Amino acid sequence: MSAITLTNQGVYASNANFRPSGTQLNRRGRLARTLVVLSLAIVLASLVSAKAGAGTEVVPAAAGSFITITVAPGETLWSLAARVEHDGDLRSLVSEIVSVNSLASVDLTAGQKIRIPLK
């Protein structure tokens, strides 16, 4: 049962099911609304992530910028780097050798082929 109250601001209907818009979403409507909001959020997130990585690009190294050395017994990454780089910082060259060869550790075995980048 609903009651109608007359006030100075106008007519007020007190009904528990009264909705000012006059529409009520069922389960399918709520699911559709949720899916639309989620899809818009995904599109927005992909646009933001695309803009975040816009300035980065992977540039492959030139084909002739490496030499391949076969590791002799007792050689280390530091000794190989010192053989190629006579003056300068060996730490950066050692880290480049590790990254170019995808080495898990700095341990080398005799007979292993190592690519060393040239500067």
For residues 14 and 40, give the distance between their C-alpha atoms in angstroms, rounded to a whole number: 37
Give the chain's residues under pLDDT 50.
Answer: 1
pLDDT at position 20 is: 62
pLDDT at position 87 is: 79
Structure tokens at 45: 């997130």
Pick from 85, 82, 115, 90: nearest CA to 101 = 115
Q: What is the reported pTM?
A: 0.46
For residues 60 and 81, give the distance between their C-alpha atoms in angstroms, rounded to a whole number: 21
pLDDT at position 63 is: 58
Radius of gyration of the chain (CA): 34
pLDDT at position 43 is: 93
Pick from 56, 65, 74: nearest CA to 97 = 65
